[in-house]
Structure 1
Amino acid sequence: MRANLDLADISAAHIYPMPAVGGKYPQSHGEEPRSLRAQELRPAGRPAPERPAPFSPRQLRLLGALGIGFADALEARLAAFRNGSDIAAELVAAGLLTERRYADCLARQLGLRFEPIGPQDRILDAADMLGRSPPRMAKVCNDRLDGRIFTCPTIESLDRFARYLAMRPEMRAMIRITRHTDVARAIDRQTMTERYLAARLSLSADTPRCSARQAIEPLQAALCLGAVLFACLALFYAPGLALTLCHGAATLFFAACLAIRVPAALMRPDAPARDLPAPGVLEIGWQGVPVYSVLVALHHETAMVPKLVAALEALDWPKTRLDVKLVCEADDEATADAVERAIAGRPHFSLVLVPPGEPRTKPKALNHALPLAHGEFLVLYDAEDEPDPGQLREAYHRFRTGPENLACLQAPLVVTNGEAHWLSALFALEYAALFRRILPWLARHGFPLSLGGTSKHFVRERLVAVGGWDSHNVTEDADLGLRLARAGYRVATITRPTFEHAPERWNVWHRQRTRWMKGWFVTYLLHMRQPLLLLDQLGARAMATFQLMFLGMIVSAFAHPIFLGVLLVQFGAVALGLADLSDLGPLVLVDMFNIVAAYGLFMALSSAGLSPDERRRLRGAYPMLPAYWGLLAFASLRALIQLLVAPHKWEKTPHGLDSRANSADPRYRIEPVFSAWPDGPSASLGGQAQRSVAVRSGPPPADGPSPA
């Protein structure tokens, strides 16, 4: 046993200390390699050695066998020194090496066998490895109870490993060299059933009252039924008084919902993030750049995979410190095959398969993959997303400089096809008002946020602490934002955006909006199961804000067409001579004020959030706002029906060409003018993608068998 413990220590990746010499980094030779700058963060922390150790003769022989030139080896060593990774990982990330070739040459140098971990092999204590970086050494037992040790020593630990083998030659029969990612795949394979069962139940297993598995509790159903019966009786016995009271209450509530949005329209926006300090200024410490996990759930998204992988490759974060999980349903073979082709030769990407079964929801897939994520921070994207390459850096900066209880950051979502159709144009205006005005205002005042469905950055441990996502909630993001607030965590916003396409077709838009409205119904009912507890956890101001923002959104969806209809009938009667202006009651005038104020406030919020270019391109969509809100009322009614008959139904909406009004038309793209991104998303993404390929250009080699 002691030999195994020593071996684990010897095989572990050497974490280079971070230099702290006046904020500058020693050069091993000449000028800093330009090709690696885009990948490397520059952390500085506690006192540490000023430069990495020189190569040993054994290490040089291995590098020569791998075909790595001395200049490239020095660059990789410097990158490992800065990022807190290891030399081989940097060479693989730079496209100079494959994991298989490294393992083959390493095995030959050490006189050991290369062998992948097979499906019949069982890693001891695999469940204990979840949530952590895959180990360099795994003790394995197969069906015949043959014990073996699979390991992948780093170049830095090569000499110590060779000395260990010389002292313990009897261990050669047990030790196998494998790829580091083989250990991660084996852990995924071995823990799949356990993770799947936990993901299916999620919150309903331990805290059923916090889960939407039961959408409406019996007491809530009884109260709702009682309210409906009371309203019917009131309308039967005193219709005039009942209608006046209901109309007045709805009018006042509608006005309050508008009033709370006024400060968001008037506030000074956050300054766009640019020229962020290198992470070293934030005192990362000597253990290196933190690992950032990226989760993306895909379902029938074959066409989106290449574009998605390119966008994620462009993220400005060291590839050796990225942990990207693309999550697919196991029976969606087309998407899974497309993912495997796209991520070949990229060890920081991995495919996670979710066994088929109910509920078939995005949060269940994310919960299944969450235990495999081992980053200190985690971000969630959608298949169609194009995040700003600097978004992770800004999020990291905010996490390090924000309050201690900061758990989540919401990035703004920007629609790029607003000119293509009036539906997508108004969708873009909605997003501008929500993500660039309302959510930043709520976050600035510490109020609970209804998170967006994508581009949410988390401190992973705090996400796990609140139970991850609710697998039975079709708007898991809105629910999660409230659970974070109830647990005492803060949610804030950042400025670097994520670009995505909005639906242009009615059948896509109304299915998506139905799911959203149904999820908001469920989430409101869920958190109002214990209103006194909610009040105690949020506080009076946050509780009032929650009611006005959340319930207000639901009520407004139904109130708008009613108010508008009443106004049209009343003024139509006046126009036809059937009534006189003096006959109009005060409620009608208040209704008119509310309707005009609602349109005006929407225009003010969205216009304040738009860039000048967007404002010029989208202003022609405002006249369609009454029709758009009418369609929203229809989707809300449909959502209410689904709440009663199919609360967990997930209506999948397509992305890309399938969501466009006319897929044969060329794409119109709005290029928002952000100070943080002056060249537009396309230019920045393309340039960053080129800069992120270190040392040599060209795609990374496929990780196949090494040449003889």
Structure 2
Amino acid sequence: MRDDVSDHPALPGGPYVPPALLRNGARGRFLPPPRPAATGTAGGPASSDEAATILGIEPGVVAGARREAGRNGTDLAAELLAAGICDAESIAARIAARLGLSVESIGSGDRIIGVAASDRAALPRLVKTCDARLETKLFLLPRLDGLARLGALLAARPDFARRARVTTDRDVKAALAQQSERQRLRAARESLSATHPRQSARNVLEPAQAMVLTLTFCGLVAAMIHAQAATLAMVHLVAGLFFAAGLCLRLAAVLGRKGSTPRQSEPIEPKPLYSVLVALHRESGVADRLVDALSRLDWPVSRLEIKIVCEADDPDTIRVVEGAIGRRPQFEIVKVPPSEPRTKPKALNFALPLTAGEFLVLYDAEDVPHPGQLREAYARFRCGPPKLACLQAPLVVGNGGNNWLAGIFALEYAALFRRLLPWLGRHGLPMPLGGTSNHFVRAHLLDVGGWDSYNVTEDADLGMRLSRNGYGIETIDLPTMEHAPERLAVWFRQRTRWMKGWMQTYLVHMRQPLLLLRELGVRRFVTFQLLFVGMLASSVAHPLFLGLAGAGLARLVAQGPGSISLGVLLALDLFNAVGGYALFVVLSRQAIGGEEARNLVRYFPLVPVYWMMIAATTLRAFAQLVTDPHRWEKTPHDMAARARPHDARYRLDPRFET
């Protein structure tokens, strides 16, 4: 028996009704329970009639479930659970009755000391526990097709039978989670700061960085004292050129190929296990809608595990989630003990060791993913290169027509997720991930250490770490619908966190710039600088460029042409000011069409106001970086985030037709 409990295989399941199993939607009719027995007819797979007798359901239903198990690479019980024919407790009770054993949960005093698993479906899985009195118990998770052999073993080994009892997979997973809780919490709290401290944002600045910044500041002050005009002109020129270089990156995206990525055909093979993670905190208002959206994902539920990660001291959200998921066995609530830092990546790191999927996708509380998104990602992973680690789905704002703030947010997302990020992915350039709808190869995610619990934009940081480790990031086409903030206060706090996280990410990855250059190469290193410095500097410099361009034009009108250098600076300022707006308009307009365009184009004239607001959030983010770097300002996703929460028209939520 192996003592490595992490080898215990997950057995996901849920209310998925396979078309070949119950084409008319009928449920299996339960028959009288079987008489206890300890043996079967043979050691091989039980016949449909035998399994039907054990479970008390009709043979035709069992035969259909067995066919579905063959297609999905699962077992009979998993498909019966997935179809809602039986629940785990009733299956365990009937198997126990057949074997003459009792059904028992693993108690809090029972410590798991070993898990035995077999790749052959005819052999049972077994969990060995030991309590404070050194009494050992054997908890069995038998497969229906192995009951005859197990019955013979129990009859031949009374000592084995005396210690054996039947339990459910959910109970075993709960016991393993409880036993590993303290270790997982410690690992989640420390995350990269313990394993790769130079890649963690736990410390804002390293001493060498502080020294460089101090010397740079002192040098600028000295230059201002001795040559103020020349220093200002040089800073003006350097900032303007960098801003212009960032615009050239977006110009390349404008001129790049437009259109969807060719769809890949799904491999003809049993579907792998797919894990879904969603972190919730004070989201009782949207939890039921989230569960409904995730229930519509087009993936065999017997090969799907959905973990809703909640804070243990958030009883309202937990209560709503429990009511929404009911007895759907593919859903599970993971409760995170209260601890610092109070961040989303810490919660995800706490839940990550509990996942078992080959692939993993991350969603947010307000998300409504397209039902076919998992299938598209799976096909792309299977047909892509071995080092393809992540696929970013486009995020589409569904409430952009509600007010101007949500409208410009929607335009911003359209330009980013439907034009710029796909262009970066096609050219193998670093990509700052969005905070949701990231599909990962789970092994690659674990290889780079998961998320940084101290970075408040863990998505952007993770994208860079994947690139530094040689992994690829691309995009898919099927979207996730989201809600944008409609209230200024909500938007302001959210954008402050984003800008602070980008500052954290830039400082972390520039701790060893020469190493970063070697890992990324020149082309990707320059792209990183343009993306991150361009985003941060341009948000603050934008009002400055507008002011300088206005002052230069006023001087030109009043005094006529001046020196060549002043003319160059004026031309640069005008290019940056006009080009910034023009490229934003063109990029976002390329990404939208039809009714979406009709709803959103009226907000283009307000983009300058929006960018001025971003400048204010950047200054606030810098202040927070100094005083409270790991503060996570919660973004509400329920009606409190809407501009008119009492207007019934704004209660309509996006939904994909299937």
Output the TM-score relative to the length of structure 2.
0.90
Deviation track 1:78-115 (CA, whole Å, cap 9, x = no partner) reads: 11111111112211111221111111122112111011
How far does residue 152 in structure 1 lie from its aligned partner after superposition?
2.1
Structure 1 residues 600 and 413, CA, compared in 2 at 3 Å: closer, same or farther?
same
Q: Pick from 27, 51, 61 the counterpart of residue 72 of structure 1.
A: 61
Partner amino acid for 1:404? Answer: P
How far does residue 669 in structure 1 lie from its aligned partner after superposition?
9.7
State the SS of the aligned residue for 1:327: strand
Q: Pick from 523, 544, 561 the counterpart of residue 582 of structure 1.
A: 561
Distance 2:218 2:340 in 1: 35
How far does residue 147 in structure 1 lie from its aligned partner after superposition?
0.7
| Aligned residue runs from structure 1 range 495-574, under 5 A | 495-571=477-553
Please tell me whether residue 315 in structure 1 is matched to residue 275 in structure 2.
no
Structure 1 residues 74 and 321, CA, compared in 2 at 3 Å: closer, same or farther?
same
How far does residue 146 in structure 1 lie from its aligned partner after superposition?
1.6
How far does residue 340 in structure 1 lie from its aligned partner after superposition?
2.1
Partner amino acid for 1:94? Answer: A
| Aligned residue runs from structure 1 range 321-400, under 5 A | 321-400=303-382
CA contact (8 A) 2:10 2:169 kept: no
Distance 2:553 2:526 in 1: 35
2:655 maps to: 682
2:436 maps to: 454
CA contact (8 A) 2:45 2:146 kept: no
How far does residue 35 in structure 1 lie from its aligned partner after superposition?
6.5
2:586 maps to: 604
1:416 maps to: 398
2:638 maps to: 656
| Aligned residue runs from structure 1 range 157-556, under 5 A | 157-271=146-260, 277-280=265-268, 284=269, 288-556=270-538
2:139 maps to: 150
Distance 1:667 1:152 in 2: 50
State the SS of the aligned residue for 1:157: helix
1:677 maps to: none
Q: RMSD value over aligned CA atoms? A: 2.6
Partner amino acid for 1:485? Answer: S
2:41 maps to: none
Distance 1:189 1:358 in 2: 20
Please tell me whether residue 115 in structure 1 is matched to residue 104 in structure 2.
yes
Partner amino acid for 1:242? Answer: T
State the SS of the aligned residue for 2:584: helix
Please tell me whether residue 63 in structure 1 is matched to residue 72 in structure 2.
no
Distance 2:477 2:462 in 1: 21
Distance 2:524 2:70 in 1: 46
Partner amino acid for 2:483? Answer: H
> 5+ residue gaps in structure 1?
16-29, 37-51, 130-134, 672-680, 688-708
State the SS of the aligned residue for 2:61: helix
Deviation track 1:465-494 (CA, whole Å, cap 9, x = no partner) reads: 111111111111111111111111111111
Please tell me whether residue 98 in structure 1 is matched to residue 103 in structure 2.
no
Distance 2:468 2:150 in 1: 50
Distance 2:147 2:581 in 1: 68
Partner amino acid for 1:139? Answer: K
Structure 1 residues 111 and 234, CA, compared in 2 at 3 Å: closer, same or farther?
same
1:675 maps to: none
Structure 1 residues 423 and 356, CA, compared in 2 at 3 Å: closer, same or farther?
same
Q: Which structure's relative contact order is higher, taking Cα pairs within 8 Å and 6+ residues apart?
A: 1
- Identical residues among aligned pairs (%): 52
Query: How many residue pairs were aligned?
Result: 624
Output the TM-score relative to the length of structure 1.
0.84
State the SS of the aligned residue for 2:214: helix
How far does residue 236 in structure 1 lie from its aligned partner after superposition?
2.7
How far does residue 208 in structure 1 lie from its aligned partner after superposition?
0.8
How far does residue 161 in structure 1 lie from its aligned partner after superposition?
1.8
2:36 maps to: none
CA contact (8 A) 2:394 2:418 kept: yes
Partner amino acid for 2:167? Answer: T
